[in-house]
Amino acid sequence: MTERTKVILLNTPHNPTGHVFGREELQQIADVALRHDLVVITDEVYEHLTFDGREHTPIAMLPGMRERSILISSGGKTFATTGWKVGWVCASPDLVTAVTTVKQFLTFVGPAPMQRGIAAGLRLPDTRIAEIRDSLQRQRDVLVEALEVTGMRVHVPEGGYFIVADVGPLGVTSAIDFCRKLPERVGVAAVPMTVFYRDATGVETLVRFAFSKRVEVLEEAASRLAALGTSI
């Protein structure tokens, strides 16, 4: 925060950590926004993909925040249509006008055929959305177990598509090196967490794995990862 701060960017449920911000955490951020007259721009693309009964709360729902929030979401994650690039913005009319004014000079128009597909998705009953969430939770559980078996220290995510695991316990000192070699070693790809940080101190041995895959694919990954101990 400086004198020039105008906006807070908030992503919840969070990629890459899988954290779902709770009410108290959101209230702390809202307090700052209210005190300093800031707009909060939120990325809530994983809004429906929360696990173990955890609820996603848009910060716009907190008192005084509706007028100063720009809620952005997308069909990309809920409907497994990453790449379709169809999303939406919820905000007060003046903020929506600001967004459409800028967008006009960026991507200009949306992909109309994909919009029809996402519109069909948005008409699905809540029960179908719950099924999508529950099957993703099962996928998470398969990959969490597979990673734990290897001896990695696994952070179980509360939402989203990703698991962060510490490969330090495997004797690895660089997640970047580890991720470079992993596809060759066992045919599994992952992303070093260092790429998400300006200062990567403290995350040198953390790796992000995706579980947005069919269970058969995750099970195959599990059996390949099990061979990891012998290939290091």
Ligand X SMILES: Cc1ncc(COP(=O)(O)O)c(C=O)c1O
Residue ranges that bind ligand X, judged by CB under 6 A: 11, 15, 43, 45, 74, 76, 82, 85, 87
Rounded to the nearest whole angstrom, what is the least distance from the CB of residue 64 to ligand X in the complex? Answer: 25
Q: Give one DSSP letter per residue of 100-160, joined into a string.
A: HHHHTTTT-S--HHHHHHHHHHHTS-HHHHHHHHHHHHHHHHHHHHHHHHHT-EEE--SBS
- Least Cβ distance, residue 48 to ligand X (angstroms): 13
- For ligand X, the closer of residues 12 and 150 by Cβ is 12
> Whose Cβ is closer to ligand X: residue 19's or residue 68's?
19
Of 200, 211, 167, the closest CA to residue 185 belongs to: 167
- Residue 139 has which token pair? 């996928």
- The nearer residue to ligand X, 85 or 153, going by C-beta atoms, is 85
| Min CB(9)–ligand X separation in Å | 10
Closest CA to 143 of 204, 224, 46, 65: 224
Q: How far is the CB of 227 from ligand X (least distance, A)?
A: 29
Which is nearer to ligand X, 83 or 125 (by Cβ)? 83
Q: How far is the CB of 223 from ligand X (least distance, A)?
A: 27
Toward ligand X, which CB reaches closer, 45 or 154?
45
Q: How far is the CB of 43 from ligand X (least distance, A)?
A: 5
Q: Which CB sits closer to ligand X, 71 or 172? A: 71
